[in-house]
Amino acid sequence: MKLLGAAILLTTITFCAAADGVDPEPVTSPSTTSPTSSPTTSATTPSTTSKVTTSAITSSTTSTTSITTTTTTSPSTSSTTPSTTTSTSTSTARPTETPTTVVPPSPGPKPGTWEVKNSTNSSCILLKMVAELAVNFNGSQIFHAIVPTNATVSGSCGNATHENQTMILQWSYVNGTSNTMEFVFSKKDKKFELDMVNISLVVDSSHFKNTSGQRLNLTHKEVDFVTPVDMSYKCVKEQTLNFDNVNNATNITASLKISQFQFQAFGNITNKHFADAKDCEPYETPDIVPIAVGCALMALIIIVLVGYLIGRRRNQARGYLSM
């Protein structure tokens, strides 16, 4: 028993000495992940295992002790580098557009109004118009004039035995020389008309070469604008009166264009009020009128036809009954 106890004691001392002489150190290799500019990178170090075996032998007893030490280190380091996005926007300014200024059309000449008064201070002739005169030499226009609205007026209302009435407009252009335009009206069968237009016009060398204050005498003799008495004549659109045989020269022609035109002769006019107007452009009949008339005729024909068929059928029915 003493030998057995000594052996156990010796074994215990040997075991403890062996245990104290072992100092295992685990090997750790931490992995390091260096940051990059790329997206997130993860690095993992494989685990490390250390195995130590110690054997102790005695003279009388054999004892084997196995000590296993396992150390596992798995550090994981994740490094995320934030990505930075830089957006650059370049805008190009549009060129400045200069606004276009629309020039309104110049207004045309305003019409003038003239009247010839009788002994009772009422007007026998009332005229409103824009008058433009053009003179042509060898086919080219060389003179253009507009009768001014401040032209003076004179004339005659006629009498019981003389049925013509006249209106004379007078104005100046060149060197104070007088220009005139005469309208002659006549009355026949309760109608009046424009019979004649006479123009006396002075032109200078700027219009006619080798001339100095040459006077042109223009005449238009045709019946125009026939109008019932106690009415006026009105025409907004342009009318052209042609003048031939100017100063008995074949290479000179002239025309008078009148627009916004209204006149009345052989009247008893007060306060410059025209009588009811006869328009040079008669009012057109609306399309609905002939359409309505056509529809009415069609309806009448259908009614007559239906009545005829009904009457014929009744007569046939009476014939069958009598049989």
- Taking Cα atoms as reference points, which of 281, 262, 259 lies closest to residue 108? 259
- Taking Cα atoms as reference points, which of 144, 142, 255, 254 lies closest to residue 209? 142
Same domain, 195 and 271: yes
Asked whether the predicted pLDDT for residue 35 surpasses 80, the reply is no
Same domain, 5 and 119: no
**CA pair distance 125, 262, nearest whole angstrom:** 11
- 194 lies in which domain range? 112-279
Give the model's pLDDT for residue 277. Answer: 93
Both tokens of 152, joined, read: 């003076």
Both tokens of 61, joined, read: 């007893």
- In this structure, the strands spanning 52-57 and 252-264 are unpaired
Same domain, 120 and 266: yes
Query: Which DSSP category does 269 fall into?
Result: B
86 within a domain of the structure (yes/no): no
291-310 per-position pLDDT tens digit: 888 899 999 999 999 988 89
Cα–chain center distance at 41: 64
- Taking Cα atoms as reference points, which of 262, 263, 260 lies closest to residue 236? 260
Give the model's pLDDT for residue 126. Answer: 97
154 within a domain of the structure (yes/no): yes
Global pTM value: 0.55
Into how many domains does the chain fold? 2
208-259 per-position pLDDT tens digit: 665 566 788 889 999 999 999 999 999 988 999 998 766 666 677 889 999 9
* Banded model confidence at residue 82, pLDDT cuts 50, 70, 90: very low
The single-letter code of the amino acid at 243 is F
Mean pLDDT, residues 66-88 taken together: 43
Do the beta carbons of residue 147 and residue 131 sit within 8 Å? yes
Query: Any idea what the CATH number is for the domain that residue 200 is in?
Result: 2.40.160.110
**CA pair distance 269, 165, nearest whole angstrom:** 14
Same domain, 118 and 248: yes
Same domain, 267 and 152: yes
Give the model's pLDDT for residue 184. Answer: 96
In terms of Cβ atoms closer than 10 Å to its own Cβ (0-12, 13-18, 19+), residue 257 is: middle
**CA pair distance 186, 196, nearest whole angstrom:** 9
Same domain, 156 and 69: no
Same domain, 69 and 151: no
Same domain, 204 and 64: no
268 within a domain of the structure (yes/no): yes
Same domain, 177 and 127: yes
Same domain, 159 and 268: yes
Both tokens of 231, joined, read: 């009415």
The single-letter code of the amino acid at 265 is A
181 within a domain of the structure (yes/no): yes
**CA pair distance 156, 183, nearest whole angstrom:** 11
318 within a domain of the structure (yes/no): no
Same domain, 158 and 57: no
